[in-house]
Chains A and B, each alone.
Chain A
Amino acid sequence: MQITFWGVRGSYPVPGAATVRYGGQTSCVEVRAAAGEALIVDAGTGMRALGNKLLQEATQAQHHHVLLSHVHWDHIQGLPFFSPVYIAGTRVSIYALLTAADELHQVIGGITRHEFFPMSLEAVPAQFEFHQVEPGVDFDIGAFHVMPIALNHPFGSVGYRVDADGSSWAYIADTAPFDRVLHKQHFLAGPEALSEDDRLALGAMRDALILRLQGVDTVVYDTHFTEEEYRRFPHYGHSTPDQALEICVAARVRRLVLYHHAPSHGDDQMDRLAAEYLRKGAGVGVEVLTSFEGMTLPIGPDAERQLA
């Protein structure tokens, strides 16, 4: 199995000279099994370039499977620009955490309402199917075994552990850490005091995450903030590289990939963060890489064989 990053930015796309090397498009990762089967995780703006590549490669209309962490704009905005959907015969299965698949249909359809986009979902030639996922309830998509994991983000978010070809990786975005703020179904103007139940809920979420990450080769993690930024915005629903590293050490993960970079983090700052956390990770036995647009990672343990 291997993964390729098509969008690594958080919140909104950031053009310009400061993002040329790490990339400015938002969340989108392509997953490939050894036999060629594909999965897409998140439908941020990086999905446009992925769609153009898939369309070039394809000899016939495909069935695309898209796992969504949640439906904030930066994770779904690429869908209307995913060129395969304009080819008749294309099928798109979308998986997300919502109370019902029907609601998901409305939410995804909502981004192409006439106010927002010239062509409605119903008018698009591709056929869409919607699937509700539930943390703790595993499912299979072809060669991939998918395990949804509850995360701590405003109005809910879900991570995924994906196993295939005897290797595994996990996508943990978007999430806040599991100590200071418990995100629920309302707007937070600032951190709210935690009740005893909130603390228990956070502890249970962290335990379940670590349990699911046991033995995973590579973890892609929301590390939007620096420590200093997190202290100012602990209620925004994102983590830092230190918080991600702490989880990976607890779960004995081999490799951590920093992901969902803040829009304000230019290439030079990303270089410094990459170097700092490569060093910090080495100190605790975790290889820390920093994702950039176009990066392809073979997923262990049989990485060498797949590369060949």
Chain B
Amino acid sequence: MKLHQKPNMPTDLPVLKPFVVAGSKTWSMETFGTITADRRILIACAIFLMAWLSVDVVYAQLQSDSSQSAFATLVKWTPLMLLGPPGQLGGFVLNIVVSFIAMALGTFMGLWLGLGQISLNPIVRRSSWAITQLFRNSPWLVLLFYIMLLMPFRVTIGGVEFDIPGWWKAAFALSLPIMANISEIVRGAIASIPTGQWESAESLAFSRTQTIWQIILPQCVKRMLPPWMNWYCILTMSTPLVSILGVSDGMSLTQDALAAESRSEFLIPMYLWLMSWFFIYSYPIAKLTRRLEHRFAVNE
């Protein structure tokens, strides 16, 4: 538990001096702005884009037939790759939606599984451990196949039939490995809290449930946040796997677009275009994660 102490109050005890890290900045939108708008990256991207565009236009001019330039093709297909077919959820947006759902489900299940791993009941503890290890060590694609092929596509609840869309099943399948890894993060974070916290809570007559929820877990949040964000990045990088199982995400629509064009010189720009979206989405998160890791680093 934190000692309640006003930061500016003078004290005789040097051990209890207010804890201020030298040179630490306060968190603000400005910090986030500096991460997303790293000027060097922007400049590098702009230079690359300009160079490529000029080469591309010249190349298209040199071709005798009135074929489109690669840039025009990219522009033509971007709405489909990004948003999916009109009126449907698909494309890169679906990748992000799947990642959100899988992360929410995985975090929720993982929290309970992680708490199960420190349960006093040996049966609960061992089975939670076994489930965690099972899903942590199985390949994502195999789990995806397993759920997509063996889970029913239609369920009847109370006489009403519900169709389960493929991407819901995919999100559930991807949430399983996330669940197992979050479970390990929760267990590790709880184990890293000094035992003094448990003992002092006990001496203040907190029950075990109260100790976990009111004292231990709030302190764990800081330690769990960076690895949690790291797993979110890994999850987002795994969402294109759903294209293998026929969900029309950004990857499969890109392949459809390439098949429709059927020109090999568009392959590299199209794939790079798709990869750049993932990069732009994931890189700021990765950078923020690194910062938080440094900020929250426990110096013992």
Say whether A associates with B: no
Chain B residues in the interface with A (C-beta under 8 A): none
